[in-house]
Amino acid sequence: MEFLSNDKLLIVGAAGMIGSNMAQTAIMMGLTPNICLYDPYLPALTGVAEELLQCGFEGVNITYTNNVEEAFKGAAYIVSSGGAARKAGMTREDLLKGNALIAEEFGKNVKKYCPDVKHVVVIFNPADITGLITLLYSGLKPSQVSTLAALDSTRLRNELAKYFKISPDTVVNSRTYGGHGEQMAVFASTTSVNGKKLTEIIGTEELPEDEWEKMKVRVIQGGKNIIDLRGRSSFQSPAYLSIEMIAAAMGGKPFRWPVGTYVDNDKFSHIMMAMETTVDKNGVTVQPVKGTPKEEAELEKSYEHLCKLRDEVIEMGVLPPISEWNKLNPNIK
């Protein structure tokens, strides 16, 4: 088997459904022969490792440990799903307090044991906030930390394909921006369906305005729908997309979807949110987001919601005031 890299890839939270699926996906995509699985719960972690070893993969060295130092030391790439899972009746934001503390510890572990790590992907919710906390405590550059936001855009793609009864491949450039939560901004102006601009279809018999509004709700509540259907939060789609993201950072194919990234410009300040981005060996590069006035207003609302969550974390004492962030991480100006 040919591999993209020989660098160490660390999967944090590997005993869980997302983490174990990430590990198998990384192996099957040929990312690296050097994969380490970490989880504090050793019995389940051992079970995951045993299953992967019993797959009979060739040329892959799968190690596993519940020792933080052993896991993080020498890691060049990390994907973490190591937070509490969302359960029935919970929003992503309900997870804030517990997972904020987990993100703080995660960032400190990165800084202490693998400060030379090249890229970190954070996917435990609320990912915009846990990613921000990880960035600040890790001491990494903003381009080195990204969060899973693509799932909202792929859900939009799926909803459009189902509605029009067409192949998802004919839905091009479906995009959501802002927060990965109840206040995300679902864009239509970026998207084409069967070669036709989505904005030219909305409000016609093909897609009445009220049907479009219902579709946006289904996209926003896509995670809740999976819980309702399966009795547990999604794991296959976030696992695949997060590994596709880290593969791009390792020098693989360009990532096709928006990612959550640190933003500090004249419009959005000191926040982690989904933007139009490119991900490659140099990390994340942010591109301008352009939409209709209504879409941009929704993006502004999403940003304001994220600011409230960020400020809650500051009030909790997990993060210092914004004015002191540079002391915590000199890469944050």
Phi, psi of 286 (to 5 degrees): -90, 135
Region 122-133: what's the mean pLDDT? Answer: 94
Residue 36 lies in a domain: yes
171 domain-assigned: no
Residue 26 domain flag: yes
pLDDT at 92 over 70: no
Considering the domain boundaries, does residue 39 fall inside one?
yes
* Residue 293 or residue 182, greater confidence: 293
Q: What's the token pair of residue 221?
A: 């509540």
Question: Which CATH number characterizes residue 72's domain?
Answer: 3.40.50.720
User: Average pLDDT, whole number, for the chain?
Assistant: 94
Number of domains in the chain: 1
Under a CB-based contact definition with an 8 Å cutoff, are residues 178 and 303 in contact? yes
Determine, yes or no, domain membership for 45. Answer: yes
Confidence check: pLDDT of 85 > 80: no
* CA atoms of 167 and 144, how far apart (whole Å): 34
Classify the C-alpha dihedral 312-315-320-324 as positive or negative.
positive
Is the model's pLDDT at 56 over the cut of 70? yes
The pLDDT, as a whole number, for residue 93 is 62
- pLDDT given for residue 244 in this prediction: 97
Alpha helix (H) ranges present in the chain?
17-28, 42-53, 68-72, 96-113, 127-138, 150-164, 198-201, 209-220, 222-230, 236-249, 293-316, 325-328
Is residue 129, in this structure, part of any structural domain at all?
Answer: yes
Tokens, residue 122: 């954070």
The answer to whether residue 154 is domain-embedded is no
Confidence label for 95 from pLDDT (cuts 50, 70 and 90): confident
Q: Is the residue at 205 inside a domain?
A: no
pLDDT in tens, 264-291: 999 999 999 999 999 999 999 999 999 9
Which pTM was predicted? 0.95
Higher pLDDT, 161 or 233: 161
For residue 83, what are the domain limits?
9-149
pLDDT tens for 199-253 read 999 999 999 999 999 999 999 998 888 888 888 888 999 999 999 999 999 999 9
- Alpha-carbon span 173 to 93, nearest angstrom: 27
Question: What mean pLDDT comes out for the span 151-165?
Answer: 97
* DSSP count for the chain of H helices, then E strands: 12, 14
Strand pairing report for 171-172 and 175-177: unpaired
Please give the share of the chain, as a percent, with pLDDT higher than 70.
97
Strand partners, 11: 37, 79
CA distance 274 to 123: 13
